[in-house]
Protein backbone atom coordinates (compact mmCIF):
# COMPACT_ATOMS: atom_id res chain seq x y z
CA UNK A 1 0.00 0.00 0.00
CA UNK A 2 1.26 3.50 -0.77
CA UNK A 3 -0.32 5.11 2.28
CA UNK A 4 1.12 3.32 5.26
CA UNK A 5 -0.10 3.76 8.80
CA UNK A 6 2.73 3.59 11.34
CA UNK A 7 1.68 3.13 14.95
CA UNK A 8 3.57 4.45 17.99
CA UNK A 9 5.68 2.02 19.97
CA UNK A 10 4.12 2.59 23.42
CA UNK A 11 1.21 0.51 24.63
CA UNK A 12 -0.80 -0.16 27.74
CA UNK A 13 -0.69 -3.50 29.61
CA UNK A 14 -2.97 -6.13 28.14
CA UNK A 15 -4.72 -9.24 29.45
CA UNK A 16 -3.66 -10.12 32.98
CA UNK A 17 -4.80 -13.72 32.59
CA UNK A 18 -4.63 -15.31 29.17
CA UNK A 19 -7.92 -17.06 28.29
CA UNK A 20 -8.01 -20.15 26.09
CA UNK A 21 -8.41 -18.39 22.75
CA UNK A 22 -8.98 -20.41 19.58
CA UNK A 23 -10.48 -17.67 17.39
CA UNK A 24 -9.55 -14.04 16.75
CA UNK A 25 -12.01 -11.73 15.05
CA UNK A 26 -11.08 -8.28 13.80
CA UNK A 27 -12.90 -5.12 12.93
CA UNK A 28 -11.76 -3.84 9.53
CA UNK A 29 -11.86 -0.03 9.27
CA UNK A 30 -9.71 1.50 12.00
CA UNK A 31 -8.19 -1.85 12.95
CA UNK A 32 -6.88 -3.77 9.93
CA UNK A 33 -7.10 -0.82 7.57
CA UNK A 34 -7.05 2.80 8.65
CA UNK A 35 -8.46 6.07 7.40
CA UNK A 36 -6.10 7.55 4.83
CA UNK A 37 -4.96 10.44 6.99
CA UNK A 38 -2.33 11.40 4.44
CA UNK A 39 -5.08 12.03 1.89
CA UNK A 40 -7.04 14.03 4.47
CA UNK A 41 -3.93 15.98 5.46
CA UNK A 42 -3.15 16.74 1.82
CA UNK A 43 -6.73 17.87 1.19
CA UNK A 44 -6.56 20.20 4.18
CA UNK A 45 -3.34 21.76 2.92
CA UNK A 46 -4.87 22.29 -0.51
CA UNK A 47 -7.68 24.18 1.25
CA UNK A 48 -5.10 26.40 2.95
CA UNK A 49 -5.39 24.75 6.35
CA UNK A 50 -2.11 24.23 8.19
CA UNK A 51 -2.15 21.23 10.49
CA UNK A 52 0.47 18.58 10.99
CA UNK A 53 -0.29 14.95 10.26
CA UNK A 54 -0.02 14.23 13.99
CA UNK A 55 -2.64 16.88 14.74
CA UNK A 56 -4.91 15.28 12.13
CA UNK A 57 -4.38 11.92 13.83
CA UNK A 58 -5.40 13.41 17.18
CA UNK A 59 -8.53 14.79 15.52
CA UNK A 60 -9.54 11.23 14.70
CA UNK A 61 -9.59 10.52 18.43
CA UNK A 62 -12.14 13.31 18.80
CA UNK A 63 -14.21 11.71 16.04
CA UNK A 64 -14.30 8.39 17.89
CA UNK A 65 -15.31 10.09 21.12
CA UNK A 66 -18.10 11.80 19.15
CA UNK A 67 -19.32 8.38 17.98
CA UNK A 68 -19.42 7.20 21.59
CA UNK A 69 -21.44 10.24 22.62
CA UNK A 70 -23.93 9.67 19.81
CA UNK A 71 -24.30 6.05 20.89
CA UNK A 72 -24.80 7.17 24.51
CA UNK A 73 -27.52 9.54 23.30
CA UNK A 74 -29.17 6.69 21.38
CA UNK A 75 -28.86 8.51 18.04
CA UNK A 76 -30.31 6.25 15.34
CA UNK A 77 -27.07 5.92 13.38
CA UNK A 78 -25.96 3.39 10.83
CA UNK A 79 -22.47 2.94 9.46
CA UNK A 80 -23.53 5.03 6.46
CA UNK A 81 -25.04 7.92 8.42
CA UNK A 82 -22.22 7.90 10.99
CA UNK A 83 -19.48 8.71 8.46
CA UNK A 84 -20.28 12.41 7.90
CA UNK A 85 -20.56 13.24 11.62
CA UNK A 86 -17.28 11.35 12.12
CA UNK A 87 -15.37 13.57 9.70
CA UNK A 88 -17.29 16.64 10.86
CA UNK A 89 -16.03 15.99 14.40
CA UNK A 90 -12.48 15.78 13.07
CA UNK A 91 -12.81 19.11 11.28
CA UNK A 92 -14.42 20.70 14.33
CA UNK A 93 -11.48 19.53 16.44
CA UNK A 94 -9.20 21.30 13.96
CA UNK A 95 -11.18 24.53 14.33
CA UNK A 96 -12.28 24.66 10.70
CA UNK A 97 -15.19 27.01 10.06
CA UNK A 98 -18.46 25.50 8.89
CA UNK A 99 -18.43 26.80 5.30
CA UNK A 100 -14.99 25.32 4.65
CA UNK A 101 -15.86 22.12 6.51
CA UNK A 102 -18.90 21.60 4.29
CA UNK A 103 -16.71 21.70 1.17
CA UNK A 104 -14.16 19.35 2.72
CA UNK A 105 -16.82 16.87 3.78
CA UNK A 106 -18.06 16.73 0.20
CA UNK A 107 -14.53 15.97 -1.00
CA UNK A 108 -14.08 13.23 1.60
CA UNK A 109 -17.43 11.67 0.72
CA UNK A 110 -16.67 11.68 -3.02
CA UNK A 111 -13.30 10.06 -2.39
CA UNK A 112 -14.85 7.44 -0.14
CA UNK A 113 -17.48 6.56 -2.72
CA UNK A 114 -14.84 6.21 -5.41
CA UNK A 115 -12.23 4.45 -3.29
CA UNK A 116 -12.93 3.48 0.32
CA UNK A 117 -11.15 5.99 2.57
CA UNK A 118 -10.25 3.24 5.06
CA UNK A 119 -7.43 1.85 2.93
CA UNK A 120 -4.13 2.48 4.74
CA UNK A 121 -2.48 -0.54 6.34
CA UNK A 122 0.33 -0.98 8.85
CA UNK A 123 3.26 -2.78 7.19
CA UNK A 124 3.39 -5.25 10.11
CA UNK A 125 -0.24 -6.38 9.80
CA UNK A 126 0.35 -9.29 7.37
CA UNK A 127 3.10 -10.77 9.54
CA UNK A 128 0.88 -10.65 12.65
CA UNK A 129 -1.95 -12.36 10.79
CA UNK A 130 0.42 -14.97 9.39
CA UNK A 131 1.80 -15.73 12.85
CA UNK A 132 -1.71 -16.18 14.24
CA UNK A 133 -2.57 -18.56 11.41
CA UNK A 134 0.71 -20.44 11.91
CA UNK A 135 -0.28 -21.00 15.54
CA UNK A 136 -3.46 -22.68 14.38
CA UNK A 137 -5.88 -19.92 15.29
CA UNK A 138 -9.05 -19.31 13.31
CA UNK A 139 -9.28 -15.74 12.02
CA UNK A 140 -12.26 -13.71 10.86
CA UNK A 141 -13.49 -10.18 10.21
CA UNK A 142 -16.70 -8.60 11.51
CA UNK A 143 -17.13 -5.17 9.98
CA UNK A 144 -19.76 -2.47 9.68
CA UNK A 145 -19.29 -1.67 6.03
CA UNK A 146 -21.00 -1.04 2.70
CA UNK A 147 -20.40 -4.32 0.92
CA UNK A 148 -16.84 -3.47 -0.15
CA UNK A 149 -14.74 -4.58 2.79
CA UNK A 150 -13.75 -7.95 1.32
CA UNK A 151 -12.41 -6.24 -1.79
CA UNK A 152 -10.54 -3.66 0.33
CA UNK A 153 -8.84 -6.43 2.30
CA UNK A 154 -8.12 -8.27 -0.93
CA UNK A 155 -6.44 -5.19 -2.40
CA UNK A 156 -4.31 -4.95 0.75
CA UNK A 157 -3.27 -8.58 0.31
CA UNK A 158 -4.68 -9.80 3.63
CA UNK A 159 -8.07 -11.31 2.75
CA UNK A 160 -6.38 -14.70 2.41
CA UNK A 161 -5.74 -14.89 6.15
CA UNK A 162 -9.41 -14.96 7.13
CA UNK A 163 -11.73 -17.94 7.28
CA UNK A 164 -14.74 -15.62 7.10
CA UNK A 165 -15.33 -11.94 6.34
CA UNK A 166 -18.68 -10.67 7.64
CA UNK A 167 -19.84 -7.36 6.16
CA UNK A 168 -22.86 -5.78 7.85
CA UNK A 169 -24.20 -4.69 4.46
CA UNK A 170 -24.47 -8.33 3.42
CA UNK A 171 -25.97 -9.76 6.61
CA UNK A 172 -28.35 -6.89 7.44
CA UNK A 173 -27.22 -6.24 11.01
CA UNK A 174 -24.55 -3.92 12.41
CA UNK A 175 -22.35 -3.78 15.48
CA UNK A 176 -22.93 -3.30 18.38
CA UNK A 177 -25.80 -5.74 17.81
CA UNK A 178 -24.44 -9.07 19.12
CA UNK A 179 -26.18 -10.95 16.32
CA UNK A 180 -23.49 -9.99 13.82
CA UNK A 181 -20.87 -11.59 16.08
CA UNK A 182 -23.04 -14.66 16.56
CA UNK A 183 -23.34 -14.93 12.77
CA UNK A 184 -19.55 -15.04 12.43
CA UNK A 185 -19.14 -17.49 15.32
CA UNK A 186 -21.73 -19.82 13.80
CA UNK A 187 -19.94 -19.84 10.45
CA UNK A 188 -16.65 -20.58 12.20
CA UNK A 189 -18.15 -23.05 14.71
CA UNK A 190 -16.41 -21.03 17.41
CA UNK A 191 -17.33 -20.39 21.04
CA UNK A 192 -17.70 -16.82 22.36
CA UNK A 193 -15.65 -17.53 25.49
CA UNK A 194 -12.75 -18.71 23.32
CA UNK A 195 -12.88 -15.78 20.93
CA UNK A 196 -11.01 -12.46 21.06
CA UNK A 197 -12.30 -9.43 19.17
CA UNK A 198 -10.08 -6.50 18.19
CA UNK A 199 -11.76 -3.20 17.27
CA UNK A 200 -11.21 0.54 17.42
CA UNK A 201 -14.43 2.19 18.70
CA UNK A 202 -15.60 1.44 22.22
CA UNK A 203 -19.37 1.87 21.84
CA UNK A 204 -19.50 -0.19 18.65
CA UNK A 205 -16.72 -2.76 18.81
CA UNK A 206 -15.98 -3.36 22.48
CA UNK A 207 -19.56 -3.07 23.74
CA UNK A 208 -20.86 -5.20 20.89
CA UNK A 209 -18.27 -7.94 21.34
CA UNK A 210 -18.79 -8.07 25.10
CA UNK A 211 -22.56 -8.28 24.65
CA UNK A 212 -21.94 -11.30 22.45
CA UNK A 213 -19.79 -12.91 25.17
CA UNK A 214 -16.42 -12.37 23.48
CA UNK A 215 -13.18 -11.09 24.98
CA UNK A 216 -12.39 -7.66 23.52
CA UNK A 217 -9.46 -5.30 23.15
CA UNK A 218 -9.38 -1.80 21.65
CA UNK A 219 -6.74 -0.69 19.17
CA UNK A 220 -5.87 3.02 19.26
CA UNK A 221 -3.71 4.30 16.41
CA UNK A 222 -2.04 7.06 18.37
CA UNK A 223 -5.06 9.36 18.30
CA UNK A 224 -5.23 9.71 22.09
CA UNK A 225 -8.59 7.96 22.23
CA UNK A 226 -8.65 6.25 25.62
CA UNK A 227 -12.18 5.19 26.55
CA UNK A 228 -12.40 3.94 30.14
CA UNK A 229 -13.14 0.39 31.10
CA UNK A 230 -11.42 -1.50 28.29
CA UNK A 231 -8.03 -2.92 27.42
CA UNK A 232 -6.10 -0.79 24.93
CA UNK A 233 -3.24 -1.60 22.58
CA UNK A 234 -1.59 0.67 20.01
CA UNK A 235 -0.61 -1.91 17.41
CA UNK A 236 -1.59 -5.47 16.50
CA UNK A 237 1.56 -7.22 17.74
CA UNK A 238 0.35 -7.48 21.38
CA UNK A 239 -2.47 -9.72 20.16
CA UNK A 240 0.19 -12.41 19.77
CA UNK A 241 0.70 -12.35 23.54
CA UNK A 242 -3.01 -12.68 24.25
CA UNK A 243 -3.52 -16.03 22.56
Residues 68, 31: Cα–Cα separation, whole Å: 17
**Residue 95 counted as domain residue:** yes
Mean pLDDT of the residues in the chain: 92
Contact present, 89 and 63 (Cβ < 8 Å): yes
* 30 and 43 share one domain: no
Task: Write phi, then psi, for 167 (nearest 5 degrees).
Answer: -110, 125
* 132 and 225 share one domain: yes
Mean pLDDT confidence for 205-225: 96
**Residue 11 counted as domain residue:** no
Identify the pLDDT of residue 17. 58
Task: Choose the final residue of a domain: 83, 100, 118.
Answer: 118
Contact present, 30 and 118 (Cβ < 8 Å): yes
**Residue 13 counted as domain residue:** no
* 235 and 132 share one domain: yes
Is the pLDDT at 231 greater than 50, yes or no? yes
* 103 and 149 share one domain: no
Task: Choose the final residue of a domain: 83, 99, 118.
Answer: 118
Tell which wins on pLDDT, 1 or 125: 125
For 120-184, what is the HEC assignment?
ECCCCHHHHHHHHHHCCCEEEEEECCCCCHHHHHHHHCCHHHCCEEEEHHHHCCCCCCHHHHHHH
Domain carrying residue 135: 23-34+120-242
What CATH number is given to the structural domain containing 156?
A: 3.40.50.1000
**Residue 1 counted as domain residue:** no
Contact present, 133 and 161 (Cβ < 8 Å): yes
Number of separate helices (H) and strands (E) present in the chain = 10, 8
* 84 and 182 share one domain: no
Pairing of strands 34-35, 164-167: unpaired
Which long-range contacts (C-beta less than 8 Å, at least 24 apart) are formed by 143-148?
A: 143/27, 143/28, 143/29, 143/167, 143/168, 144/29, 144/79, 144/168, 144/174, 144/175, 144/204, 145/28, 145/29, 145/79, 145/169, 146/79, 146/80, 148/116
H/E segment holding residue 199: strand 195-199
Identify the pLDDT of residue 12. 40
Identify the pLDDT of residue 90. 97
**Residue 14 counted as domain residue:** no
* 153 and 108 share one domain: no
Identify the pLDDT of residue 74. 85
Closest CA to 239 of 152, 156, 130: 130
Task: Choose the final residue of a domain: 103, 118, 133.
Answer: 118
pLDDT tens figures, 77-113? 899 999 999 999 999 999 999 999 999 999 999 999 9
Amino acid sequence: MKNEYRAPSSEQPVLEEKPSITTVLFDAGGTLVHADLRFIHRTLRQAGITATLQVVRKAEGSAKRAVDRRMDDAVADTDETRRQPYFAAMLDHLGIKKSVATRLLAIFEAEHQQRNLWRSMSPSTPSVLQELRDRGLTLGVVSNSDGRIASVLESCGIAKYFHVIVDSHDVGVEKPDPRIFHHALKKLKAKPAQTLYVGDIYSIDIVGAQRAGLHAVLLDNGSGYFPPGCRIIHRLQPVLRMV
